[in-house]
């Protein structure tokens, strides 16, 4: 793959990267990955002029990167996705006169075998430099839980926090949480793959959103202002009422008393409805956000201190202040209301009915003998119905709460 980018690197940056090097940003999730991926993709043309090459054509080919990391794809044919990865890795290997950058949070999920295979695909450990971004543990709990809920986890926030912070071995219901966010152990695993001198840990300061693109500019030797984070990346956090509606929907979809024998494709919810909803609906300033209880903030802060100490003692390159990993959220914690402003159960049932109707209808309709054009995909029907109904009912239930 070659997108025609050309140019020589004007600086090796803080990491000492030379032309031909590969910066492999492995996340993990909820550490600013989406924001920096947008910034890199939007600056693709300008980056080329500074000798920085983005081998992937799209902003974040998640399923392609996931296959490379050994994960089962959420969508798409595995062989086709693997072929796309081979194109990306071949383009990376061929870019000997530029610094290649790949950013994907699923890279960090690779086990040792797939991590070594992935690095070999990109030209070997002598070319690859691994970058791990990390942030305050107390500050990411709420956003990480809601991401799990969007992916189908049905546990309440309090139950999830208890499982992650108080119930040994701290791996239920989401074992990936600590594999991703024990940054000291994540860095240690990857140092075994590429060498300790080729792993860097960047501590993100949540209080300075503009700091992340500036950090990447310094790492890559770019002039200031090349990378800018969009104010609206389409990945906003959901309010308590919104995420409870999503959670209730998953609960209903798995309840045989309600769903019966209907087989509902929840992937439509995960990949189509929720992203469109995030873009279409803008919650009011008075709608309560997710509030983390003090006990969980204290527990997470203690783990953050352990991680900071481990990184400091490891001798790895750490950029930023490790003390930030235990810092509590800067915005004041408000008292949690008894119920969300939006009736989550009512909205969830409404969304469920739209899913059932859209899923069943194609099987009930006879196909025309000679169709003039293909019918719209089921996903599109669900999206349009969802937007119409939820916009109407969100306003209704918000006013009644």
User: What is the per-residue pLDDT across 151-173, written as a single tens digit (0 to 9) for each?
Assistant: 999 999 999 999 999 999 999 99
Q: H/E element holding 313?
A: helix 294-314
pLDDT score recorded for residue 255: 81
Beta strands (DSSP E) in 302-372 are 317-319
d(CA 384, CA 310): 49
- pTM, two decimals, is 0.83
Mean per-residue pLDDT of the chain: 83
CB 175 within 8 A of CB 190: no
SS3 assignment, position 145: helix
Sign of torsion over alpha carbons 274, 278, 279, 281: positive
First to last CA, the chain: 54
pLDDT digits (tens, 9 = 90+) for 273-312: 777 777 777 777 777 888 899 999 999 999 999 999 999 9
pLDDT score recorded for residue 364: 45
d(CA 59, CA 35): 11
Residue 222's Cβ-count burial label (10 Å; 0-12, 13-18, 19+) is buried
Q: What domains are defined for the chain? A: 22-140+176-220 (3.40.50), 240-289+334-400 (no CATH)
d(CA 60, CA 32): 13
The tens place of each residue's pLDDT in the chain, 401 residues long, gives 334 344 444 446 889 999 999 999 999 999 999 999 999 999 999 999 999 999 999 998 999 999 999 988 877 788 999 999 999 999 999 999 999 999 999 999 999 999 999 999 999 999 999 999 999 999 999 999 999 999 999 999 999 999 999 999 999 999 999 999 999 999 999 999 999 999 999 999 988 878 899 999 999 999 999 999 876 555 678 888 888 888 988 888 888 777 666 677 777 778 777 777 777 777 777 778 888 999 999 999 999 999 999 999 999 999 999 999 999 987 655 666 666 666 565 466 556 666 665 665 554 444 555 455 555 555 555 556 555 555 554 554 454 44
d(CA 2, CA 252): 47
């Amino acid at each position: 793959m070659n997108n025609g980018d050309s140019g020589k690197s004007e600086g090796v940056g803080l990491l000492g990267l030379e032309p031909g090097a590969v910066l492999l940003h492995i996340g993990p999730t909820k550490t600013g990955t989406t924001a920096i991926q947008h910034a890199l993709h939007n600056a693709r043309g300008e980056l080329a002029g500074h000798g920085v090459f983005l081998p992937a054509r799209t902003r974040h080919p998640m399923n392609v990167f996931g296959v490379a990391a050994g994960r089962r794809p959420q969508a798409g044919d595995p062989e086709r996705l693997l072929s796309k990865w081979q194109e990306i890795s071949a383009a990376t290997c061929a870019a000997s006169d530029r610094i290649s950058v790949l950013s994907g949070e699923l890279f960090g999920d690779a086990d040792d075998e797939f991590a070594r295979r992935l690095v070999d695909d990109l030209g070997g450990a002598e070319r690859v430099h691994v970058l791990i971004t990390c942030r305050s543990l107390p500050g990411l709990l709420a956003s990480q839980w809601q991401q799990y809920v969007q992916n189908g986890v049905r546990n309440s926030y309090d139950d999830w926090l208890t499982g992650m912070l108080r119930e040994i071995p701290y791996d239920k219901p989401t074992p990936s949480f600590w594999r991703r966010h024990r940054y000291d152990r994540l860095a240690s695993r990857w140092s075994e793959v590429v060498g300790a001198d080729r792993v860097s840990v960047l501590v993100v300061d949540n209080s300075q959103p503009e700091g992340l693109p500036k950090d990447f500019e310094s790492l890559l030797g770019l002039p200031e202002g090349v990378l800018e984070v969009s104010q609206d990346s389409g990945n906003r956090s959901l309010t308590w009422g919104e995420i409870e509606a999503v959670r209730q929907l998953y609960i209903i979809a798995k309840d045989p008393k309600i769903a019966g024998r209907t087989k509902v494709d929840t992937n439509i919810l995960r990949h189509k409805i929720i992203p469109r909803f995030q873009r279409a609906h803008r919650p009011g300033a008075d709608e309560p956000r997710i509030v983390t209880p003090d006990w969980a903030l204290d527990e997470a802060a203690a783990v953050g201190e352990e991680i900071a100490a481990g990184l400091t003692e490891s001798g790895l390159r750490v950029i930023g202040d490790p003390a930030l990993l235990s810092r509590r959220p800067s915005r004041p914690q408000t008292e949690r209301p008894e119920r969300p402003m939006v009736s989550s159960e009512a909205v969830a049932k409404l969304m469920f009915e739209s899913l059932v109707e859209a899923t069943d209808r194609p099987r009930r309709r006879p196909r025309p003998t000679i169709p003039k054009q293909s019918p719209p995909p089921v996903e599109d029907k669900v999206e349009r119905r969802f937007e119409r109904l939820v916009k109407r009912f969100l306003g209704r239930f918000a006013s009644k709460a």
